[in-house]
Structure formats: C-alpha cells, structure tokens
Structure 1
Amino acid sequence: MSLWSRTRNAVHGEITRTAMELFLTRGFDATTIDEIAAAAGISRRSFFRYFGTKEDVVLGDLIARGEEIRQALEARPDGEEPWTALCNALHSVKDTAYDDDTMLAIFRMVHGTPSLRARSIEKHLQWQALLTPEVRRRLGADPADPFDVRADALVATVITCLDVAGEAWTRGDGAVSLEDLFDAAAAAVRPPGSRAVP
C-alpha cells in the first residue's frame, strides 16, 4: 500500500472514530457534519472527500464487508449446497472493529434512526448484487434468464435472516449471540433437504 493510501486510510479511520464517539454520546441526528469536522480537525469540504453522507460514516464499511462475504462464498467447496454455503460465508466474516457493548450501541442507533435504517437496507441490496452471481453459478442457472429467481430469493432470504437476527440481538440487549440468532432465523426458513450449518 502506498504512503498516500496509508495516510488516507489513517485519516478516514480518525474521522470515523471521532464521528462515532459523537454519535454515541449525542445521538446521530443531533450531531452535525460541521461538529464532526471540527472535532476531527478538518474542514467540512475535507469531510466530503472521505464520506458522501453522514450515514456513510456509520455504514460505509458494509460494502467492504459484502465484498469479504462474496470472497468467502466463492471459497466455499463447490459441492456445498448454496444455502449452506451462504450461511457459512456469513459466519466466516467477523466484525472486529468494536467490542460487543459498542456494537450493541451502534445497532440501537441504526435501528432507531430512519435515515440509517434506510441506508442499511440500501447497502444490503448491494450485497445481494454481489452475492447472487455466485449462487446462480452454484445452481447451474443461466445468467441471462430473467425469470430464474432462485438465486435472488436465496440471497435475499439469507440477508433478511441476518437483519432479523440483528433486530432481535438489539431488542434483547445482546443476551443471545448474534450468530446464534442468525442460525435460528436461517433454520426457520431453510429449504427442505438442505444440510444444517456446521
């Protein structure tokens, strides 16, 4: 990685940490971009060099996470049933940026803020676009067939299970692990005959 890239990543990380501290202390809607810029020691213009919106500070890494899941899915054995491969790919990608208490506070903020919730759904739709081609390949589907909805349905359902698990984890104050809640949601809708997630 070049010096420029390392510097950019360091500044991006510093702005994110500063903004998240303000969001979790004051609230997302109560924190302005000007306040984030001032606390981070940058101009408002510089903020927009790194983030398109205030919501992207909280959710911007979801696209990178989607790419990690895509790579994990492609690395699953070819003989693995698509539903199981999707679930295992999701299990293999862990968010280690924050501890559980901070993650819980972030989840509460996302689920309680309409603009963040909408942005989260938008990012998950981008995940669907990333993951569907590999599932279509595993199903032997014709990529040019607009009426074969199997892959889209499988990916959308797995992402919905993750979202449902996140909401339950937030409501329950993290008393049950997010992974266990995802497994419970996935088990409730697992296609007949598919193998259990190990």
Structure 2
Amino acid sequence: MEDQQGRPAGLRERTRRAVQAEIVAAAMRLFLERGFEATSMDQIAIEVGMSRRSLFRYFGTKEDIVLGDHAAHGQVLRAALEERPAHESPWQALRAALVKLLRSLPYDSEDFLKITGMLHASPALRARRGEKQQQWTELLVPDIAARLGDADDPRSRLRAHALVACAVACSDVALEAWVGSGGAVGVEDAFDEAVAAVRGRSV
C-alpha cells in the first residue's frame, strides 16, 4: 500500500485506510438493502460500531462514502492508459483503459448493477460523480495529447480534452443503458455504440 507519491504508507495511514474500507463496505450493504436516500449517517455509524462524530472524521457525507474510490479510479485509468502502446489511437487507448477499470472493480455483476443504478438515480450522487470524473479528465489529457502529436501544444490539449470528456460521457451513457436494460445490454457493446454515434460511424 502506497501514498499518493508512490511511497509505502505509514502505519497510521494504513490503519485509516483499513477503517475507511470497513465503513465503505458496511455503508454499501445498507445502501443496497435500504436505498441511498433512506440510509442515514447515524445508521452507518451504528453498523460499524462507532460514534457519528468518529464517522465524520473519515467521511463528511454519504456521497463521499459512495464516491471515495472515484479519485483512485482516476489513477487506475491513467496507469492503464499509459500502459497502452504508443501507436494506439486515442479512442482505442481510452476504450482499453476504461474496460480495464471496469473489470478491476471488486463487485459481482448483480451488486455492480445495483450500485450503478443507485449512482444514476440520485441527483446528489450524479452531481458529485461528475466532479470526480472531471478530475479523471485532467489526469488523462496529457497522454492523449501526446498521442495527438505534442502534449505541450495548446491545440493538442484542446483536442485531447474534448476526446477524453467525450469518452467518459460515452461510458456514462453505456452504463445507463446497461442499468436501464437490467443488465441485458452489454456495457462494452453500449460504449462502442455510443462512440460510433459520436464519431458518425457504424460499429
């Protein structure tokens, strides 16, 4: 386990992360059983056996509990993107990175379907998720700009920003289609359809 600079995390930080993981696991169980809006921070505190005040030392809101991993997901995406061959097109590289993130998530299909449905159904969660995904965009732009020619060129960065934002939006559309179909529509197929529509091509 490492800190944000890649150094081994200290004991205090490892302990904090372990407690956070326990809180997230307990909260997600409650959210899936009772619904996000119907679950309170007090109920989560009781579930993990701590005071409400102690809980707020780890998470300020319910939204933070659900979306806390999204910042880490951005780092996973960036690493996955940087692993792609340099000759690969931006769209191919972004698709591969998004697929790798999707397949790395620690949920079975049924739970992930419920969690994604919860994310899309709650206006508060959708708004906060959008903020996190903006951070993803900033992390991915340098690699895509380099694939377009020059990472320091303002025009390359502009085009890269548009491509990344579009790919992230297409992933959201694909997940929404997957949830709306009850899992019948494949996420990757839906993503390809969305990208093809944006690019004016058939899949």
Per the normalisation by structure 2, the TM-score is 0.86
1:84 and 2:92 equivalent? yes
Shift of the 143–155 alpha-carbon distance from structure 1 to 2, 3 Å rule, reads same
Report the counterpart of residue 66 of structure 1 in structure 2: 74
For 1:123 and 1:68, how far apart are their aligned partners in 2? 13
The alignment status of 1:141 with 2:130, answered yes or no, reads no
How much has 1:147 moved relative to structure 2?
A: 8.6
Q: Confirm whether residue 153 of structure 1 aligns to residue 158 of structure 2.
A: no
AA at the equivalent of 2:91: W
**Aligned equivalent of 1:106:** 115
CA positional deviation for 1:148: 5.2
Report if aligned partners of 2:141, 2:157 keep a CA contact under 8 Å in 1.
Answer: no
Q: CA deviation at 1:43?
A: 1.8
The CA deviation string for residues 61-81 of structure 1, in whole angstroms up to 9 with x for no partner, is 111111111011111111111
Alignment match, 1:49: 57
Q: In angstroms, what is the RMSD of aligned CA positions?
A: 2.1
After the TM superposition, which segments of 4 or more aligned residues of structure 1 sit over 3 Å from their partners?
Answer: 1-6
Higher relative contact order (CA 8 A, sep 6+): 1
Structure 1 range deviating more: 9-18 or 87-96: 87-96
2:7 maps to none
CA distance in 2, matches of 1:70, 1:150: 18
CA positional deviation for 1:96: 3.2
Whether contact under 8 Å (1:83, 1:190) holds in the other structure is no
How many residue pairs match? The answer is 193
Per the alignment, in what secondary structure is the counterpart of residue 149 of structure 1?
helix
Quote the residue 2:17 is aligned against.
9
Whether the 8 Å contact between 2:148 and 2:156 is mirrored in structure 1 is no
> C-alpha offsets along residues 161-194 of structure 1, whole Å, 9 cap, x if unaligned?
10000110010000122122212222333477xx
Show the counterpart of 1:75.
83
Letter of the 2:181 partner, please give it.
G
Larger displacement relative to structure 2 (27-36 or 176-185): 176-185
Runs (5+) with no aligned partner, structure 1: none
Q: 1:161 to 1:131 in 2, by over 3 A?
A: same
- Equivalent in 109, 115, 118 of residue 124 of structure 2: 115
Structure 1's 148 and 20: CA in aligned 2 closer, same or farther, altered over 3 A? closer
Q: State how far apart, in whole Å, the 2-side matches of 1:181 and 1:28 are.
A: 26
